[in-house]
Structure 1
Amino acid sequence: MEEMQILVPVAVKSKLTETLKTTLLNEIGQNISRVEHDMAQLEFEANGKLAEQAKINIQAVAPLRAQYEAQKARMQQVKDKLNADKEHLEKLAIGAELNRQPMNRIVTVHVGDDMNALTGGEILVEDGKIIAFRN
């Protein structure tokens, strides 16, 4: 075998523009609203089920409450992370580069090729259009 095709990861970065910043901030805002809604819904459901359980078996209330509190804490962590992401994005200057989902490229390698030259690579995107390839 003299050659082989392999997948090599390629970093993808987006150049921050006003349009992208607005889009990302809107997405984060929607996600925060969704988490807040889910937290309110959980609180409503928890209160009802805890009251119902208290009538049936008062001793089962504490574990059930702990379960709801743990779920609420997980949701709060998600909300906190979203708020931190929002603050970070608001501080970023236009033109900054954001890491996006990496991609793979197919490379044909031959015996004797320099592997260091084949790895890496980066694609820079601005408003959905590729503007540069980097090594």
Structure 2
Amino acid sequence: MPKPFTLPGPDRDVRNHTLSLMTFATYDPIQQRPTGPTNVGKYVVRGARRPGMPLPIYTISLNGEIVGTQVSQPSKSDCDAALKRHRALNAVHAAKQAAIKSKAAASDAKARATRAKRKAANSGTAQEAA
């Protein structure tokens, strides 16, 4: 004899921790969503909607310094990758600044030497005229 069909009830629900098929929920796409900061490992992630953009922008920061942004909710590996990129960009920027400063220092030294030669030459001609 076949087993009779029975609807699952509260005592015999096979779908644990889910909503019922008859659950009614409203969704308002214009409503503001919570944008408070969340912790992902040692990073602080803050999601914020920008005007004219359909998706939020997630800002990843470490010790108050922004290390990256992305559109999707970042995981710990995403945050680590953002920090690695940030440090690499800072290193490149520091190297460029050092090169600019050394080039400027060399140019200043050359200009000082040229000025000293001209001054010496002018003082020599001034003494001859006197």
Q: Normalized against structure 1, the TM-score is what?
A: 0.30
Structure with higher helix content = 1
Q: Which has the higher contact order (CA 8 A, sep 6+)?
A: 1
Which structure has the bigger radius of gyration?
Answer: 2
Q: Normalized against structure 2, the TM-score is what?
A: 0.31
